[in-house]
Amino acid sequence: MPLVRVEIKKHPDPTFAKRIGEQIYSAMRSAISVPDHDNFQILNEHDANHFIFDPEYLGIQRSEQLVIIQITLNEGRTLEQKKALYQTIAQNLNTHLSIRLEDVFINLVEVKKENWSFGNGIAQYAN
């Protein structure tokens, strides 16, 4: 069960953040086999004073169109699966929304299954 957070600078198109989320969900479904309906996202837009980043860290030339994606998910994915996820998300955003590959910043946060409650005060994945 991934929980996706997307952070972008305020965009003139009010549907832009949602469309980013749709492409991320599609990438998670294909790259790491996220099941149908397992789609939980928090999409945030910020003004320039509240969206700070280094435009050249690690020699990557980032623009004002930077998309920061943080995905919290169960631990256990292989390095190959993670690489495929990064690649698929970046390609989807580039192909469908013209977001430069350099402007796709992704962070995975892995947690144990018992760290989720989907409602009703129950740890549904706890064994």
- Residues carrying an active site annotation: 2
Compute how many other C-beta atoms are within 10 angstroms of the C-beta atom of residue 31.
20
Selection from 52, 4, 59 nearest residue 32 by Cα: 4
Name the E strands within 14-122.
40-46, 67-74, 104-111
CA 90/CA 30 separation, integer angstroms: 13
Coil vs helix vs strand at 90? helix
Asked if 74 and 1 count as a contact pair (C-beta separation under 8 A), the reply is yes
